Amino acid sequence: MGRAPCCDKASVKKGPWSPEEDAQLKEYIEKHGTGGNWIALPPKAGLRRCGKSCRLRWLNYLRPNIKHGEFSQDEDRIICSLFANIGSRWSIIAAQLPGRTDNDIKNYWNTKLKKKLIGMAPFPSFQKRTHRATNYPSVSLFQTSKSSSAYSSPSPALPSTSSAYNCSNYNDLNTPARSLTGYEIMSIPSSLSISTSASNSTVLQAQDGFVKDSLLVFGAEASCSSSDGSCNNLISQSKELECHEFRVSNGELMGLQSSLYSGIDQNQKFLSNVVGVNGFTDEKPNGVYGETPLDYSLEEIKQLISTNICNNLNFFVDENKEEEKFLYY
DNA sequence: AAATACCCCAACCGCCATGTC
DNA sequence: CGACATGGCGGTTGGGGTATT
């Protein structure tokens, strides 16, 4: 026996909301508030709608300061950054984009942004593959999924690592090491250096002159969506941080895969915190990340990371599809 | 001009978390 | 402590609009 429905489905109206219904709901909530009980609201407001439907309509469309229309590059960047770190937690992502709703962001991601990213992906690892890629630096862009077959049953080609810090000597650039957290760790030979290009893209540069943009950049400007402008101070800190994302281990430069670090915005702080959770915190100056732009405390973020870090991404490759087996080669 | 394919997005569905009794 | 009600969320659907054939 299933759960009791939240309302009498036979007597409630479904489908698109009419302007009259919108006005009715808006007027009622503006006068009386929601009363903390959506189920009880429709009859009080004179609506033949399910309470959940009213809630959704209010949250996604009627409440004040809802922003519709084109997403900015900043917003794109924030969405991608957060998706890369916490996956499809649309409500959390929406909380970082004032005026945007989770539904909006979800739709935008599913219909446009994902395709946009696929189109601009610089590496085979970022795109769906139909063949085994060779001769690319292992800078595939996003986290891996612990639930994926490749992770749960590591290929013999993949070195087993117990942490981000003891994996070294992986000269095979096609073989990313992996931390237990689900981050991919990339091993970068000491012949390569890392710098930030004029366009804020992090660049791998080899002594022999080989230069490869390693990271995807969402917009070239270090712009800021902060309303109070406080993020301006973060620019230098963020650039400094980029250096902290790499460390030398056994003569090799080890880097935490940080495809989205090229973006410099409030969200950058979030990402920094995320990485800090994984062990880099001790190298960061105290207090730099004391303020999180999120409504979540650091502890809550840690919780989020620990519970979700392994459950996201591979968003271009369905876990059950054939292509995924190539993802880490 | 008609038929078909494709895209977008508002809305729904159902599961899970949380609060209350 | 368990049952129930409700809120919140992410996944999915379906209808309308647009593009293509």
Write out pLDDT tens, residues A27-78: 999 888 888 888 888 888 989 898 889 989 998 899 888 888 888 888 888 8
Residues 6+ apart with CB under 8 A from A161: A167, A177, A178, A179, A180, A185
**A63 CB inside 7 Å of strand C:** no
Q: What is the pLDDT of residue A118?
A: 66
**A103 CB inside 7 Å of strand B:** yes
Domain positions in chain A are 19-62, 124-326
> For the residues of A84-106, what is the DSSP string, one character each?
HHH-S-HHHHHHTSTT--HHHHH
Q: What is the pLDDT of residue A300?
A: 44
Q: What is the pLDDT of residue A31?
A: 87
Look up the protein residue whose alpha carbon has the minimum distance to the C1' of B9. Answer: A107
Distance A305 CA to B5 C1' (A): 41
| Mean pLDDT (chain A, rounded) | 50
Distance A106 CA to B11 C1' (A): 14
Distance A280 CA to B3 C1' (A): 60
| Tokens of residue A68, six digits | 């519709």
Q: Is the Cβ–Cβ distance between A176 and A184 less than 8 Å? A: yes
**A180 CB inside 7 Å of strand C:** no
Q: Which nucleotides of C are covered by protein (CB under 7 A)?
A: 5-12
Distance A327 CA to C7 C1' (A): 38
Sheet-wide strand order for A252-256: A177-178, A184-188, A252-256, A246-249
